[in-house]
Structure 1
Amino acid sequence: MKTFKLKELGEFKNGLNFNQDDYGVGYPIINVKQLYKSRFASIENLHELKLDFKNNIDGYFIKKNDLLFVRGSMVPSGAGQAVMVNDFLPGTVFSGFIIRFRTTNFSKIIPLFLNYLLRSPLCREKFVRIASGSVHSNMTQDILGNFEVELPDLETQKQILSVLDSIDSKIEIIEKNNFILEKIIQSIYKSWFIDFDGQTEFVDSELGPIPKGWTSSKLGDILSLLRDGSHNPPLRVEKGISFITGGTLNFVIEYDKATYITDEDYHKIQRNYQLQENDLMLSTVGTLGNVAIVRATDLPLSHQRSAAMLRVNEKANFVFLYCLIKSPGFKLFLDTHQTRTAQPSIFLGTLSSFAFVLPSTKLLDSFFRLGFPLIKKMQDNCSSILILEKIRDSLLPKLMSGEIQVKV
């Protein structure tokens, strides 16, 4: 094992600065939100800069095996987040909120190994310590360049990669499976409840023609409880009851982004109600519309103001509610009714006014019987992913120290 500073292994470059008027058709641009989904930068739904972008764009194109660092984070836990460039569209560039690292010293490091190392709990903890105490956890080329990593020889790196890459490949297969399941359930929802496929008799309503026997409703009509979280965040502790934000919601709750509070504070915050299995959590501050379904294994659970709890009543079911909240119509509602402040948000009263067509009880029951197994399978897949991620993260230090040997 030898210690190196990152500036001894490659070179850094800050990304492009631009404004809203520079968007158009031309250069796909990777932004911060593309750096949090997996080990590789996401290339889905990228914004683009105009081909006649006013600034010199040479030198800002990405290449395979580049590492991209988050330049600034509102919380220390996001400091130094890094992913690798794998697949990408020709002419893709990166934004000014990102610092690019390009490996030059291939005799000392394999880029994919460095990606794993920088994303491991060991390095993540170091980045958080560096960022602690700062109002806005900024990373600079100087800070990253002087960041030290311990490296085994290239052969050992290859052996370790054979194990870690195998685990991540399994994770990515499960994630693709979940993507397909999500597409299936949303396609059925659209067919039945938006396109009204199979319906032959219609009546007029305030929402236009709707199937006979259905009703024009509002979100508040099908909820028995709609609550936001604590407006006065209590003191955080190292271990305790999870205290989640809207940023932790991604079908399931991502606990690596959560903080913790004491049992005493939990009972103060949740004294009037407690979260239950199959409640829905919705992000209402910041990135609006993130959704998660509460599982039995999540409980007990508490939440901050940026996450609202939705509990369905006897008029519907949580599977229908989940698809309703994921529908394009609801996303458009959030976009047009959010407050235009530094932190976009939506009031719970406004949220409960969202209008939609409530189908017959018989059709709702049929949809639940069809959709519940899909939701359950997606939840089980998420649990499998969590287990594999824990195995992967625990293996890296043991493989590097030689505690576990790889035979190839």
Structure 2
Amino acid sequence: MKFDDNELYSIPSSVNGTQCSLHNLAKWKNGLAFKKINFSDEGVPVIKIAELNNGIGPTTAYTKEIFSEDVHLKRGDLLFSWSGNPQTSIDTFRFDLEEGWLNQHIFKVTPNEELVDFDYFYFLMKNLKPYFTKIATNKQTTGLGHVTLADIKRMNLIVPDVETQKRIVSVIKPIDDKIKLNNDINNNLEQQAQAVYYKMFSEVNGEPVELSSIIDVRDGTHDSPKAQATGYYLITSKHLLPFGVDKASANRISKADFDKINERSLVETQDILMSMIGTIGLISYIPYEAVDFAIKNMALFKTSHTPELTYYFLCYLKSEKTLQHIEKCLAGSTQKYISLGELRKMPIYSPTTDEIREFNYLVKPMFEEIVSRTYENALLAEMRDTLLPKLMSGELDVSDIDL
């Protein structure tokens, strides 16, 4: 078989093995093009790229209908999002919900386990992300790029024997598992904090006040500053993490643009961010990092000015009642958004000093542990991402590892 020798499609490696087409290592099933008529207020979630990046949120669609089983997702399935922003949308995921229906622009990928170990194939796909990003960037139009099935058929690489694959997995998977365990613990701690919030404040009889009466609410720029090779970062909803932001794929802007944006929307440690346009309601608490970025299409809640209310307000924003209120306030026909005015008017209970003292006594240790595990995960991810290409290319020898 003749393989493509283009540098984007022929993956270099010094590992001993068999040259294979990436396409032949798995079955690739694209999702469905759902229509509004398929959707309902409840049922099984429809999994789009937004759900893979951010989880279930206010813009998630649901359906009660039944479709082909090969687009029915179960926990642990491998998914490859092949369309979207090359830097933030093209990636491989392990599906981590009980079930879902697969939307178009995402492949459900089923490895041929006679040729490749399941976990090895997942890490292989993660290692190929820089190639996928470049391929998609070369085809980028109006901000979107694609990695098609034709591209996947062109890609070829050296695949070691299954025993070597398992040795590679034995090195890298424990790091990935630790990151997932930390995330699971963090999710559990957040649920506990949310339960405390619900118990203390869900049935309070006090008259609600407007949000802006107790928290300073601002927004970032809605312009598009010119991107450049170096400078300050410009953060959008694509870069929000539950705690902190992912600057790796963010555009850089000049100091002049950075200063102009931050005249009214300077982000400081202990502030909270929320996406306002497109995928709305993504929440990020800025816990510890030096803030060297500006924000676009983002709400900024200046909890750094009222630190005693930080955890109360974080739970308020993530509560089901608040998310439902935000959904009712959305405007726009082609792209949904919530205005700064609507955010400032959101109803909130103004807690007493004693209530906040008790609430913080209960939830502050939870959030401090979450922040600590988040920081640990950042270090683990850096270690994983450094090791992975060396393992896959054969630069690190795994032949002496006992399974």
TM-score relative to the length of structure 2: 0.83
Decide which moves more: 187-196 or 22-31.
22-31
Distance 1:318 1:117, change over 3 A: same
How far residue 34 of structure 1 moved from its aligned partner, in angstroms, is 4.2
For structure 1, list consecutive stretches of 5 or more residues without a partner in the other structure. 197-208
Q: Secondary structure at the match of 1:250?
A: coil
| Count of matched residue positions in the alignment of Structure 1 and Structure 2 | 376
Corresponding residue for residue 200 of structure 1: none
Report whether the alignment pairs 1:68 with 2:60: no
How far residue 13 of structure 1 moved from its aligned partner, in angstroms, is 2.7
Corresponding residue for residue 265 of structure 1: 257
Distance 1:176 1:64, change over 3 A: closer
Q: 2:124 aligns with which of 106, 117, 122?
A: 117
Structure 1 counterpart of 2:211, which letter? L
Q: Secondary structure at the match of 1:77?
A: coil
Distance 1:265 1:161, change over 3 A: same
Structure 2 counterpart of 1:134, which letter? T
Report whether the alignment pairs 1:228 with 2:184: no
TM-superposition CA deviations, 1:88-147 (whole Å, max 9, x none): 55xx6522232233333733x223212112123xx2221121112322223322122223
Q: Conserved in 1, the CA contact under 8 Å of 2:210 and 2:345? A: yes
Q: 1:321 aligns with which of 280, 293, 313?
A: 313
Separation in structure 2 between the aligned mates of residue 376 and residue 64 of structure 1, nearest angstrom = 29
Q: Secondary structure at the match of 2:168?
A: helix
Q: Conserved in 2, the CA contact under 8 Å of 1:250 and 1:292? A: yes
Distance 1:350 1:330, change over 3 A: same
TM-superposition CA deviations, 1:317-342 (whole Å, max 9, x none): 21111111112221111100011322
How far residue 61 of structure 1 moved from its aligned partner, in angstroms, is 4.6
Corresponding residue for residue 240 of structure 2: 249
Corresponding residue for residue 384 of structure 2: 392
Separation in structure 1 between the aligned mates of residue 111 and residue 198 of structure 2, nearest angstrom = 46
For structure 2, list consecutive stretches of 5 or more residues without a partner in the other structure. 1-14
Corresponding residue for residue 178 of structure 1: 186
Distance 1:66 1:193, change over 3 A: closer
Q: Conserved in 2, the CA contact under 8 Å of 1:283 and 1:308? A: yes
Report whether the alignment pairs 1:282 with 2:287: no
Q: Conserved in 2, the CA contact under 8 Å of 1:399 and 1:405? A: yes
Structure 2 counterpart of 1:22, which letter? N
Q: Conserved in 2, the CA contact under 8 Å of 1:16 and 1:60? A: yes
Decide which moves more: 61-70 or 340-349.
61-70
Structure 2 counterpart of 1:148, which letter? N
Q: Conserved in 1, the CA contact under 8 Å of 2:72 and 2:101? A: yes
Q: Conserved in 1, the CA contact under 8 Å of 2:46 and 2:103? A: yes
Separation in structure 2 between the aligned mates of residue 17 and residue 323 of structure 1, nearest angstrom = 35
Separation in structure 1 between the aligned mates of residue 48 and residue 258 of structure 2, nearest angstrom = 36
Separation in structure 1 between the aligned mates of residue 349 and residue 368 of structure 2, nearest angstrom = 26
Distance 1:37 1:280, change over 3 A: closer
Q: Secondary structure at the match of 1:282?
A: strand
How far residue 287 of structure 1 moved from its aligned partner, in angstroms, is 1.3
Give me the identity figure in percent: 24
Separation in structure 1 between the aligned mates of residue 345 and residue 43 of structure 2, nearest angstrom = 39
Separation in structure 2 between the aligned mates of residue 13 and residue 329 of structure 1, nearest angstrom = 37
TM-superposition CA deviations, 1:254-292 (whole Å, max 9, x none): 314433323343223213452211111111111111111
Q: 1:126 aligns with which of 114, 117, 131?
A: 131
Separation in structure 1 between the aligned mates of residue 107 and residue 35 of structure 2, nearest angstrom = 18
Q: Conserved in 2, the CA contact under 8 Å of 1:5 and 1:149? A: yes
Separation in structure 2 between the aligned mates of residue 192 and residue 160 of structure 1, nearest angstrom = 49
Report whether the alignment pairs 1:188 with 2:196: yes
Report whether the alignment pairs 1:78 with 2:116: no
RMSD over aligned Cα, in angstroms? Answer: 3.0
Q: Conserved in 2, the CA contact under 8 Å of 1:79 and 1:128? A: no
Q: Conserved in 1, the CA contact under 8 Å of 2:111 and 2:121? A: no
Separation in structure 1 between the aligned mates of residue 121 and residue 65 of structure 2, nearest angstrom = 33
Structure 2 counterpart of 1:76, which letter? P
TM-score relative to the length of structure 1: 0.82
Q: Secondary structure at the match of 1:358?
A: coil
Q: Conserved in 2, the CA contact under 8 Å of 1:280 and 1:293? A: yes
Corresponding residue for residue 217 of structure 1: 209
Corresponding residue for residue 9 of structure 2: none
Distance 1:358 1:148, change over 3 A: same
Corresponding residue for residue 330 of structure 1: 322
TM-superposition CA deviations, 1:35-87 (whole Å, max 9, x none): 3369xx9xxx9934424x6xxx26545588753221421x2213532224588
- Structure with the bigger RCO (C-alpha within 8 Å, sep 6+) is 2
Equivalent positions of 1:95-110 (< 5 A) are 95-104=103-112, 106-107=114-115, 109-110=116-117
How far residue 176 of structure 1 moved from its aligned partner, in angstroms, is 1.4
